Amino acid sequence: MFLVDTLTAKRVRGGATTVRHASRSLTNELVDIADIPEAAWRSLAARAIEPNTFYEPTWLRAVSRHARDYRNAKALLAWDGPQKTRLLGLMPVWTAWRALRLPVPMFVAWQPYVPLRTPLLDKAMPEAAAHGLIDAVGAACA
């Protein structure tokens, strides 16, 4: 499910609107928390537009591996392209069935123990990161 072919960010400066387009060459995926490359994940956490300590590798991996009711979580990832050189966005998720017992093909942001569910978005490209995560949901639910 692709909502648009280009990412568009509007900036308003002194009454004028500047429209910037980014290429839609992003790569997205749904993976197990344990399979996220740690160096890329740590780098994203360090440069996130809004930090979330609960979405850093040390915490999420430990909970996903050891907390009985929270094992085997997944994450939506948005990468800068097919080479996956820069991780742009990360959001841990569960299926709606597992989280809410709803039999629908959708995901719910996952975070055990605390209510903070702010995804990690690269502060240099937050719009691209957000669109990449949205596209990852569409691809995983298709």
For residues 18 and 101, what is the distance between their CA atoms, to the nearest angstrom? Answer: 44
Per-residue pLDDT tens digits for 42-71: 999 999 999 998 899 998 888 888 887 777
Which residues of the chain are modeled with pLDDT < 70? 1-24, 112-114
Q: Which domain, by its residues, includes 77?
A: 26-141
Report CA-CA distances (Å) from 82 to 54, 62, 87, 118. Answer: 27, 29, 11, 25
For residue 54, the 8-state DSSP code is G
Q: Total structural domains in the chain? A: 1
* Domain presence at residue 114: yes
* Domain presence at residue 9: no
In this predicted structure, what is the pLDDT of residue 87?
Answer: 97
Residue 105: CB partners within 8 Å, gap ≥ 6? 96, 141
Overall pTM > 0.75: yes
In this predicted structure, what is the pLDDT of residue 16?
Answer: 44
Burial of 28 from C-beta contacts in 10 A (0-12 / 13-18 / 19+) = buried
In this predicted structure, what is the pLDDT of residue 24?
Answer: 55
Per the CB < 8 A criterion, the answer to whether 108 and 93 are in contact is yes
* Domain presence at residue 11: no
